Structure 1
Amino acid sequence: MALPAQDERTVPAVVLKDLDRQPLEQTLDAMKALIDQHGHVVVVCSDAVPSGVERRLHTVRSLLESDRIALFRPDLPPLGLAVLARQLRQLASCDLSPGVLASAGRLLTHYIHAGAVLASVARLDRVPVGLKAHAKSWVPGSQFGVIAHPEPQLVRIRPEATLTGPDFGSWMLLAKGQLQSDWVGSTLAPAWNALGLREAGLPAESATWWGTGKLIEFCTYLPDLSVLYQLVTSVRQGVCHWCGIDVIGDRCVFCSATPPVPESRTPTG
């Protein structure tokens, strides 16, 4: 899902639709056009999409023989992933190199708290669910507060129910599915000292990811471009030994190379 721009500098998103159903030639032409226009492409993809989408992306990257396509599938729920994609779109307007921008995705995931309110956890396989919670899923009217990232949490929603949130100031975004509840806005947001609350449409993959359409998905995030830029530029940068692009971290997001293992030296004397 492509969220609306956060500010006037946010770069527009390009949505690649029906990748597993459209002719391969059409996908190749579209990706080649993006590379020709922008130089590098960062594809942010949910792990809830059909497996055929991921296969098609790898096929396109292989056929184009391009190391200018980064495929990024972070372990985030769909709404959190949409927020991360928008943050990368914000940073794309800055003076960051393609490798640093693409690498920034891994860094920024640490500052996103993502979860949902669910009417049932019977089909939830993204977060550990105990037998008691499974049993209570069948009680009419039960609702559960779940955190999937950064650390799994699950509670049955009651007046005293709490979830651990971020220890820094952030905004909260929520997307309503087929569930009626004001718990996020009335209880969770104040408990987490959210600086503000906004709403968005529910991503198409949310029901699949959470195992039910009766949900309200939410996440917290850093909205200010200046803060995001400072976070990214404060991290030590390196150069990929294989393709030569600037990166953050120990794996190149474009060619997937990792730093070479230092050769062991035999002591002398």
Structure 2
Amino acid sequence: MDQHTPTAALLHSPQDQSLDAALSDMSLLLEQHGSVVAVYPSTVPVAHERRLHTVRSVLESNRIALLKVDLPPLGTAVLARQLRQLSVCDFGPGVIASAARLLSHYIYAGAQLSSVTRLDRVPVSMKAHAKSWLPGARFAVRTNPAPELIRIGGGGEVPGGPEFPTRMALAKGQLQSDWIEHTLVPEWRAQGMEEVPLPEESPGWWGTGKLVEFAAFLPEISVLYQLVASVRREVCTWCGVELIGDRCGFCSAPLAGEGQQGRESGVLKHGTPA
């Protein structure tokens, strides 16, 4: 992360923080920044998600966006960083919040696993389950933008990658392997790689601690800006914020009317911004 990217605020779980303290923290964030965009994975415990909605309800604030995403832990962290990068641009909070759905399509997230016996994020065949028990078995799983699972070794196959320039984030668990650095990065033509700490949720998400998680993403803020700016902006008829796409990130209201497709198709073509 460069020095111009704002840091993120951590919203604690109910087990770690009282409701009064959570309300106080959120009030302070709203006072300091005007709006809050909270990004959290769809696998977050129910109690934690309920706390987020309770805080927004008690404060009666329409300046809190709660964005639940289906990305794995490292992919979620990458998306949060991209939104933080965009927060210093001339976009309003509504555009930033609604941009999460658009940017998610450009994150290729997955992991290298030693076993898929406890993996329930993508379809796993009985044959793949059986091969998990073989000594030295390795699997490459991509969950986003579409699920794919392959067994590593022999054929030299890799999951389908992006057709535009990316950078690779890598988070190592207990699996000792350099397959991502030596095979996946060059096959996907990633323009650089950075190693980051493994998110603490990753072993539970992937069903094993013997993993290396990865996420290929658009690294340049200029490309992110162009991508978001290319989509037509609308005004939410419910809460009044400016947005892109077909749903408000703050109140979740769908955009009324026809012809609300954005112009994002074609923004990234043949590996370069259009």
1:187-229 superposed Cα distances (whole Å, 9 cap, x missing partner): 1111111111110000011011111111000010111111111
Structure 1 match to 2:50: 55
User: Which string of whole-angstrom CA distances, capped at 9 and with x for unpartnered residues, describes residues 86-112 of structure 1?
Assistant: 111111111111100111111111110
After TM superposition, list the pairs within 5 Å mapping 1:247-266 onto structure 2.
247-260=243-256
Query: What TM-score results when the alignment is normalised by the length of structure 1?
Result: 0.93
1:133 aligns with 2:135: no
8 Å CA contact 1:175–1:217 kept in 2: the answer is: yes
Q: Any stretches of 5+ residues in structure 2 without a counterpart?
A: 259-274
Runs of 4+ in 1 over 4 A off after TM superposition: none
Give SS of 1:45's match. Answer: strand
For residue 266 of structure 1, what is the aligned residue in structure 2? none
Conserved 8 A contact 2:12-2:22: no
Q: Report the equivalent of 2:147.
A: 152
Q: Which residue number corresponds to residue 38 of structure 1?
A: 33
Give, in angstroms, the shift of residue 261 of structure 1. 6.2
Q: CA deviation at 1:251?
A: 1.1
Cα displacement (A) at 1:20: 4.1
Moved more, 17-26 or 173-182: 17-26
Cα shift at 1:21: 3.7
SS for the counterpart of 1:104 is helix
| Counterpart residue type for residue 198 of structure 1 | E
For 1:201, which of 177, 197, 201 is the aligned residue? 197
How far, CA to CA, are the matches of 2:121 and 2:168 in structure 1? 21
| Partners of 1:49 and 1:205 within 8 A in 2 | no
Which of residues 71, 88, 94 is equivalent to 1:93? 88
Q: What CA deviation, in whole Å up to 9, does each residue of 1:27-62 have, x standing for no partner?
A: 011111111111100001122332211010011111
Opposite residue 45 of structure 2, the aligned amino acid is P
Could you tell me how far apart the structure 1 residues matched to 2:247 and 2:163 are?
28
Q: Which of 220, 226, 234 is the aligned partner of 1:224?
A: 220
Deviates more, 1:151-160 or 1:127-136: 151-160
Does the aligned pair in 2 maintain the 1:83–1:221 contact within 8 Å?
yes
The separation in 2 between residues aligned to 1:202 and 1:126, in whole angstroms, is: 18
User: 1:3 corresponds to which residue?
Assistant: none
Structure 2 length normalisation: TM-score?
A: 0.91
**3-state SS in 1 of match to 2:117:** coil
Could you tell me which runs of 5 or more consecutive residues in structure 1 were left unpaired when the two chains were aligned.
1-5, 263-269
User: 1:73 Cα shift?
Assistant: 1.4
- Partner residue, 2:185: 189
Identity of aligned residues (%): 59
1:103–1:248 CA contact under 8 A, matched in 2 = yes
Question: Aligned AA for 1:186?
Answer: H
Question: 3-state SS of the aligned residue for 1:73?
Answer: strand
